[in-house]
Amino acid sequence: MPHRTPLPQADLDAFLARHTAWRVEQGALVRTYEAPAFLDGIAFVDRLAKLAEAADHHPDIDIRWRKVTLRFVTHDAGNRITELDTRLAGECDALFNALAPAV
């Protein structure tokens, strides 16, 4: 299981360089996805909820019509970004990309 210690800045910078849609806001890893339709966004949230539950690590999720915003931070690491956050953020990218051709 990924460490629940704060991610070194160099590792966070490397993640952000590879995943340019993600940003850091108020100490959390944040990204907004835009689905083609409302139900496509809901299908994405349903699948990512299963992924998060399996990892026992849950993002804050904000759904606004076709836009889904995720915020990852590890509470038991002092509300800091950890390897767990970046790993799940990357998995969410792959999940959304896999769903996109089907919608």
> Six-digit token pair at 44?
């994405």
Range of the domain at 53: 25-102
**Domain annotation covers residue 6:** no
**Domain annotation covers residue 19:** no
How many domains, the chain? 1
Residue type present at position 95: L
pLDDT, mean over the chain: 93
**Domain annotation covers residue 81:** yes
Under DSSP, the state recorded for 64 is: E
**Domain annotation covers residue 30:** yes
Q: How many residues does the chain have?
A: 103
Give Cβ neighbours of residue 72 (< 8 Å, ≥ 6 apart). 28, 29, 30, 57, 59, 81, 85, 86, 88, 89
Give the Cα separation of 22 and 29 in Å (integer).
7
The DSSP annotation for 3-25 comes to --SBPPHHHHHHHHHH-TT-EEE
**Domain annotation covers residue 64:** yes
Q: What is the pTM of this model?
A: 0.91
Element (H, E) at 88: helix 83-99
pLDDT mean over 92-97: 95
Provide the CATH number for the domain around residue 53.
3.30.1360.20
Beta strand 67-72 with 28-34 is: antiparallel
Tens-digit pLDDT profile for residues 14-55: 999 999 999 999 999 999 999 999 999 999 999 999 999 999
